[in-house]
Amino acid sequence: MKLFETHAHLDLPDFDSDRESLINKCFASGIEYIINVSYNKETALSSLELAKKHLHIFATVGFHPHDAVDFDAELVKKHAREKKVLAIGEIGLDFFRNLSPYPVQREVFANQAHLAVEYDLPVVVHDRQAHQECYNILRQENVKEAVFHCFSGDIVFAQQVLDAGWMISFTGSITYANSHLDNVVRLVPMDRFMIETDCPYLPPHPHRGQRNSPLLLHLVAEKIAEIKGITPKEVAEASYNNAMQFFRVPPDPVKHHKAGHKK
């Protein structure tokens, strides 16, 4: 089964002991592309470094709401011009943990959404208990291409996101017994969702408590297939095609891989 892992954090220390062998295993097991998402200055660097090492790994740049106080616009602009950086993210609002003050989160999210439009890059959104506020900022900044990563809203909010033209992304959280996302999975059309692990976090059932990795991505596809009443292969293919289009993955990664700037 051909898979596209749209949200991983393989540069984190959790993978220090076996990173390269794990990545090889992933590519041998049907994972074709990986978006390695960053969330602060340190991971912007490590994520880009990893992407430059692997033909089929791409990076993002952005300051997560937890790291909003460290926001560095020049770093985001610099990385946004890198060929291997395909999105701005993960950026957004987190009113669950509130590690950065609310006004700072809001301002930094808006600034980065603005940069995404300016640099013509899609946005990977982190939205934790801040659905409407995230929606409002993206609309206000006129963001056309966004994915709500690890979607956690209800069916009404899902419809709002779809109506705005944005994508919905599912993690292993849909496999948990307390998941309320079945109706969202049923609602979302085949051309509007993606799948991700968010590894090392959120391991799908029955691997909770273990380190997550792209090797478990198929379990997300299988759960969506079960809910939608289709095959895992159909889910994987749809998500793959949606991700290729959303992240505008270059058709010739070999040529594209050369380190450097877009223009």
- H helix or E strand, kind and range, residue 92: strand 85-94
Nearer to Zn ion, 12 or 244 (CB): 12
Nearer to Zn ion, 52 or 128 (CB): 128
Nearer to Zn ion, 79 or 257 (CB): 79
Please, which of residues 210-239 interact with Zn ion by CB under 5 A? none
**Cβ atoms within 10 Å, residue 240:** 21
Closest residue to Zn ion, judged by C-beta, is 198
Nearer to Zn ion, 116 or 257 (CB): 116
Rounded to a whole number of angstroms, the minimum distance from the CB of residue 60 to Zn ion is 10
Phi/psi for 116 (5° steps) reads -60, -45
Q: Is 67 in the site for Zn ion (CB under 5 A)?
A: no
> Where do runs of H (alpha helix) occur along the chain?
19-28, 41-53, 73-80, 102-118, 131-140, 155-163, 182-187, 217-228, 232-246, 253-257
Q: Two tokens at 43?
A: 């991971």
Size of the site for Zn ion (CB under 5 A): 1
Distance (Å, rounded) from C-alpha 91 to C-alpha 9?
14
Distance (Å, rounded) from C-alpha 97 to C-alpha 118?
30
Rounded to a whole number of angstroms, the minimum distance from the CB of residue 38 to Zn ion is 9
Rounded to a whole number of angstroms, the minimum distance from the CB of residue 229 to Zn ion is 29
Rounded to a whole number of angstroms, the minimum distance from the CB of residue 64 to Zn ion is 8
Contact mark string toward Zn ion, 5..34, x via CB under 5 A: ------------------------------
Please, which of residues 169-208 interact with Zn ion by CB under 5 A? 198
Nearer to Zn ion, 111 or 171 (CB): 171
Rounded to a whole number of angstroms, the minimum distance from the CB of residue 124 to Zn ion is 8
**Cβ atoms within 10 Å, residue 17:** 8
Nearer to Zn ion, 145 or 198 (CB): 198
Contact mark string toward Zn ion, 107..136, x via CB under 5 A: ------------------------------
Nearer to Zn ion, 232 or 243 (CB): 243
Rounded to a whole number of angstroms, the minimum distance from the CB of residue 198 to Zn ion is 5
Rounded to the nearest 5 percent, the helix, strand and coil shares of the chain are 45, 15, 35
Which of 27, 108, 96 minimizes the C-alpha distance to 64? 108
Rounded to a whole number of angstroms, the minimum distance from the CB of residue 202 to Zn ion is 9
Which of 122, 124, 113 minimizes the C-alpha distance to 89? 124
Reading across the β-sheet that carries 3-8, which strands appear in turn? Answer: 3-8, 31-36, 57-61, 85-94, 123-128, 146-148, 167-170, 193-195
Residues that bind Zn ion (CB under 5 A): 198
